[in-house]
Structure 1
Amino acid sequence: MSTVSIDLPPYAKVVFKYGRPVVLLTALLMSIPGEVHLAKVAGWDSVNLLGLWTFNVAWLMPVCVSVYAACSAVIADVAKRLCLPNQRSAVAGAVAALLLALTAQDVSHLIQQDYMNTSWLLVGAVSAIPPLVAFHMLHMAAAPESTASEVEIEELEDTFEDDDDAAETPCRKGKPGRPGLSEDEVNKAIANLEAAGRDVTPETLGEVLGRAPRTARRYMAQMKRAELKAVKVAEHEAEQSAGEMLPLTI
């Protein structure tokens, strides 16, 4: 297995690396006032901890709503990718967490702007948030401790594997797909296209090979990597040969 690095322009690298956490942090900070207000409406107030410290627990509501929604989304994605047994629960929890975060903001601002008043139903619903969040997070505790941060691909071999006819995976079980084509078959198809004066594109190559365009695109990428690898090997051998032919000087 080998890793693939994606070449992005500088501005895109900055956005990709720093944009997402900045947006996430900003959204979480903007959600705090509404969720704290909703907790206060439901009756959460200051508590005295061991007689030493007084803390307003209403400020913990954003953790039970917005942070919970973010965590649920990540866990749901990991569970789906790795085919964990709790993936349905994780996805359902992520959707419920998003709806909860949206509802909390709407209700809080509607109350603050005097469009609606509090009620026993609202107090009961908000009071149930922390125990429900705790229960669901414990239920999803089977998620892996770490995830891969690099994309892995297979090295080029004599045959290629079709993406649209993939064999069995942990998430996809059934009859195996069609065997991949050999390097010679792909080269022959490319040569036929060039001889006919046609452009070699994923669509035209896929048409000749009888494969989907995305599979043909993968074949083309693998052929390109093979060519680059062959060029590097030839250059390395040429450098070694030139070094052996140099006269010895003292």
Structure 2
Amino acid sequence: MSNTVAIDLPAYAKVVYRYGRPVVLIVALLMSIPGEVHLAEVAGWGHVSLFGLWTINVAWGMPVCVSVYAACSAVIADVSKRHGLPNRRSAMCGAYAALALALTAQDVSHWIKADYMGTSMFLVGAVSSIPPLVAFHMLHMAAAPESTETVVEVEDPADDFEAGDDVAKRPGRKGKPGRPGLTEEEVKAAIANLKAAGEEVTPENLGQILNRSARTARRYMAELKRAEKKVQAEREAATGTLQLSI
């Protein structure tokens, strides 16, 4: 069975889970912009003329090099770790470095505004090195494969073997004892026994009857639920086809 779990959340929790994170991220990035732009201006970035037609303030690129870079590094590090990509260590180091850079940039900018410190040759040099370092690391992390699976099914070892089992070994797992997976009928029979006994059908109770962990029982329940939805959809499609033919 695949390592997927179906979770039913309350309506308010679904709204927070779906929309809360992007809202917080956007607000945090917006609040970081003034300090990072100010720090860039302190380091000497300002208005630049492009071909004599447009004038832009390149200091506004600093939030992209700091806060957006930190967000990108965190996402790339998570994806690299989940999928075992070759650049996962570099991505993890970059994520931590980007977070430290974002925090430091905000602190230094506000210290200067509050007259706790002034600019210096070291500060100007450090801030000036941010864009090329960010560009270098992003190009390095871009060495990942062109495409990665957005949905990955992982075979859970808990479904294949557990400590103490003395049964036939499964192919492909040399030296590891194997425990055969349960059939859909066995899981349904266990659920029926729980209901007959007046017990609540929970992963913990089902796991005790099946002699499996609660985590494994939860996956069995999710698989049954998906199978039931599939059968129901097929029945509805067949009913609609019959009505059309009539």
Q: Under a length normalisation based on structure 1, what TM-score does the superposition of the two structures give?
A: 0.73
Asked whether the equivalents of residues 162 and 180 of structure 1 are also in contact (C-alpha less than 8 Å), the reply is no
* DSSP-derived class of the 2:100 partner: helix
| Matching residue's letter, 1:115 | Y
Distance in 1 (alpha carbons) for counterparts of 2:81 and 2:240: 48
> 1:92: how far off?
1.2
Quote the residue 2:64 is aligned against. Answer: 63
> 1:10: how far off?
6.0
> 1:105: how far off?
0.3
Task: Quickly say closer, same or farther: Cα 1:222–1:5, change in 2 above 3 A.
Answer: closer
> 1:76: how far off?
1.5
> Which residues of 2 match residues 51-200 of structure 1 at below 5 A?
51-143=52-144, 164-165=158-159, 178-194=179-195, 196-200=197-201
Distance in 2 (alpha carbons) for counterparts of 1:226 and 1:32: 49
* DSSP-derived class of the 1:55 partner: strand
* DSSP-derived class of the 1:78 partner: helix
Asked whether the equivalents of residues 47 and 58 of structure 2 are also in contact (C-alpha less than 8 Å), the reply is yes
Distance in 1 (alpha carbons) for counterparts of 2:121 and 2:240: 82
> Which residues of 2 match residues 234-245 of structure 1 at below 5 A?
none
Quote the residue 1:31 is aligned against. Answer: 32
Asked whether the equivalents of residues 36 and 60 of structure 1 are also in contact (C-alpha less than 8 Å), the reply is yes
Distance in 1 (alpha carbons) for counterparts of 2:173 and 2:132: 40
Distance in 2 (alpha carbons) for counterparts of 1:114 and 1:211: 63
* DSSP-derived class of the 2:208 partner: helix
| Matching residue's letter, 2:132 | P
Task: Quickly say closer, same or farther: Cα 1:231–1:104, change in 2 above 3 A.
Answer: closer
Task: Quickly say closer, same or farther: Cα 1:52–1:234, change in 2 above 3 A.
Answer: closer
Q: Which has the higher contact order (CA 8 A, sep 6+)?
A: 2
> 1:37: how far off?
1.2
> 1:165: how far off?
4.2
Task: Quickly say closer, same or farther: Cα 1:71–1:113, change in 2 above 3 A.
Answer: same
Asked whether the equivalents of residues 5 and 219 of structure 2 are also in contact (C-alpha less than 8 Å), the reply is no
Distance in 2 (alpha carbons) for counterparts of 1:220 and 1:97: 41
Distance in 1 (alpha carbons) for counterparts of 2:218 and 2:34: 49
Quote the residue 2:165 is aligned against. Answer: none
> 1:104: how far off?
0.3
Quote the residue 2:218 is aligned against. Answer: 217
* DSSP-derived class of the 2:158 partner: coil
Instruction: Out of 198-207 and 14-23, give the one that drifted further.
Output: 14-23
> 1:140: how far off?
0.6
1:204 and 2:226 are equivalent in the alignment: no
Distance in 1 (alpha carbons) for counterparts of 2:235 and 2:51: 74
Superposed CA deviations along residues 121-149 of structure 1, whole A, max 9, x for unmatched, are 22221121111101100001134556666
Q: Under a length normalisation based on structure 2, what TM-score does the superposition of the two structures give?
A: 0.74
Identity %: 69
* DSSP-derived class of the 2:182 partner: coil
* DSSP-derived class of the 2:23 partner: helix
Distance in 2 (alpha carbons) for counterparts of 1:6 and 1:216: 14
Structure 2's unaligned 5+ residue stretches are 162-171
Distance in 2 (alpha carbons) for counterparts of 1:128 and 1:223: 56
Task: Quickly say closer, same or farther: Cα 1:227–1:42, change in 2 above 3 A.
Answer: closer
Structure 1 vs Structure 2 CA RMSD? 4.0
Distance in 2 (alpha carbons) for counterparts of 1:74 and 1:165: 30
Distance in 2 (alpha carbons) for counterparts of 1:209 and 1:5: 19
Asked whether the equivalents of residues 86 and 144 of structure 2 are also in contact (C-alpha less than 8 Å), the reply is no
* DSSP-derived class of the 1:115 partner: coil
Structure 1's unaligned 5+ residue stretches are 155-160, 168-172
> 1:14: how far off?
5.0
Superposed CA deviations along residues 209-245 of structure 1, whole A, max 9, x for unmatched, are 221101111212323444455566667778989999x
